[in-house]
Structure 1
Amino acid sequence: MKSILLVPVLLGVMAEVHATACLIQSDDEQEPIRLCQQNMTIPENLFEENFCQPNIPERSFKIELIETCPAGAYGICEGSRTEGVGYQQSIYYYSNASDAPVLKAYCEQISQGKWIEPTAQ
């Protein structure tokens, strides 16, 4: 009887850790782009297959599924929403800090997110 009760516990411990973020980095010769999308409420398969796929013409990207976004972002749009979709994610920006004013305005006015400027780490 005791061994039957342990099975769900062991299965929970052995469960695979799934990525909840994707690090997106340009891998072409143009202006570097580096950002990370941290999933908040998006179903995992939808996040990985649709949200982690940048669609910028004539650009190529390396996409890495990771557990959490790395430190070092100059700005984070927390709770960002895509228009017409109720799901939320946080977007971490690393590339060009001079883009912060435009990204902050977009975050707050269009994406309904909260702009955060992390302290130096």
Structure 2
Amino acid sequence: MLSRFEDVGLINDGAFAEAWVESRHHSRGLARRALVRELRTKGVESALIDEAVEQLDPEQEEQTARELVARRLRSTRGLDRDKRLRRLAGMLARKGYGEGMALRVVRQALAEEGEDTEGLDEPF
């Protein structure tokens, strides 16, 4: 029965993976690494996962990270600079963003807000 569903296109892991990446990136702000992890737990083949996450543009991924930080920035006001850095970068890390991008995006957001970003080059 499953073979028949596949033959008529009702079961398509590639289409599922692409839709999953699109949906989870836009709705939850997940980065490639998190999306790959989720698709693996769902049993999608590695080749199909690779194809699906290739649709994410690195520039769009960074823009999404900036939007996530901008939304959370207000809730960290009043905290000291290092705590803000850890909270914001940690949030991005949990969503699958790499350390380099997370630190760059957070430092830039803090600088735009007028926060002194001197010494924020250390990894979290």
TM-score relative to the length of structure 1: 0.24
Greater strand content? 1
Greater helix content? 2
